[in-house]
């Protein structure tokens, strides 16, 4: 697939593109957040996010929330036909910019322990595995372990 990077557009998540995030979550096989939860995250939950588009097509998104000295990634995905092309890295680096500008010291997240793609992605971004969360996720296959990962910034 040819992707001209000059056509890429990074948009801050706002009330106007919530539906696009839900659509991307669905197409990335991620949990689709209710509209109310997304609004609550943005308005009251110290949350924010970005959507990456190529032309008029949304291709990826990332949601995070700002805690006291930490930042937590809550939901993140790139459409399958656009993976391994560096788009996940673009979204992740936007979050890292926020961390540096706002002098946060730590990034945390949880990932399904069977999700090797995401684990490999996060390892390539410098995150370490810190804790197994036993039976953390309810899935069609029953309960699956979660993995907490983190990265420190100084
Ligand atoms: C995780 C995800 C967002 C990565 O997005 P992406 O656009 O493919 O990531 P990038 O192309 O920027 O990859 C950067 C690096 O991460 C690593 N990586 C990414 N996907 C990988 C895979 N499937 N296998 C091994 N390493 C991988 C590689 O080191 C890659 O660099 P390289 O391609 O030069 O080798 C994407 O796989 C995805 O949407 N997965 C489904 C949703 C999901 O699991 N979200 C995370 C929930 S916590």
Work out which ligand 1 atom sits closest to the CA atom of 78: 39
Assess whether the C-beta atom of 120 lies below 6 angstroms from ligand 1.
yes
Ligand 1 centroid–CA 89 distance in Å is: 8
In sequence order, what DSSP letters do the residues of 43-67 get, joined into one string?
HTS-EEEEEEEETTEEEEEEEEEE-
Arithmetic mean of pLDDT, 129-137: 93
Q: What angle do CA 33, 45, 144 make, to 5 degrees?
A: 45
CATH of domain 5-152: 3.40.630.30
CB 71 within 8 A of CB 95: yes
Assess whether the C-beta atom of 85 lies below 6 angstroms from ligand 1.
yes
Arithmetic mean of pLDDT, 81-91: 97
Return mean pLDDT, the chain. 94
Q: How confident is the model at residue 1 (pLDDT cuts 50, 70, 90)?
A: very low
Q: How confident is the model at residue 12 (pLDDT cuts 50, 70, 90)?
A: very high
Ligand 1 centroid–CA 82 distance in Å is: 10
| Residue 4: per-residue pLDDT | 56
pLDDT digits (tens, 9 = 90+) for 31-40: 999 999 999 9
Assess whether the C-beta atom of 83 lies below 6 angstroms from ligand 1.
yes
Going by C-beta distance under 8 Å and a sequence separation of 6 or more, which residues neighbour residue 73?
62, 63, 64, 95, 107, 108, 109
Residues 137-149 as b or e (16 or more Cβ within 10 Å = b)? beeeeeebebbbb
Ligand 1 centroid–CA 103 distance in Å is: 26
Say whether pLDDT at 119 is over 50: yes
Rounded CA gap, 110 and 48, in Å?
A: 17
Assess whether the C-beta atom of 124 lies below 6 angstroms from ligand 1.
yes
Residue with the smallest CA separation from ligand 1 atom 41 is 77
| Residue 2: per-residue pLDDT | 47
For tokens 């995030």, the residue is: 21
CB 76 within 8 A of CB 88: yes
Residue with the smallest CA separation from ligand 1 atom 43 is 77
In sequence order, what DSSP letters do the residues of 102-120 get, joined into one string?
TT--EEEEEEETT-HHHHH
CB 52 within 8 A of CB 91: yes
């Amino acid at each position: 697939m040819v992707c001209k990077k000059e056509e890429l557009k990074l948009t801050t998540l706002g009330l106007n593109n919530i539906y696009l995030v839900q659509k991307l979550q669905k197409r990335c096989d991620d949990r689709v957040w209710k509209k109310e939860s997304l609004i609550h995250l943005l308005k009251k939950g110290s949350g924010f996010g970005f959507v990456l588009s190529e032309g008029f097509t949304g291709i990826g998104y990332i949601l995070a929330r700002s805690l006291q000295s930490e930042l937590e990634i809550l939901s993140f995905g790139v459409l399958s036909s656009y993976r391994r092309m560096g788009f996940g890295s673009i979204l992740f680096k936007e979050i890292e910019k926020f961390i540096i500008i706002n002098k946060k010291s730590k990034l945390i997240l949880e990932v399904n322990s069977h999700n090797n793609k995401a684990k490999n992605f996060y390892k390539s971004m410098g995150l370490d595995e810190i804790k197994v969360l036993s039976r953390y996720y309810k899935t069609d296959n029953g309960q699956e372990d979660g993995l907490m990962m983190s990265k420190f910034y100084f």
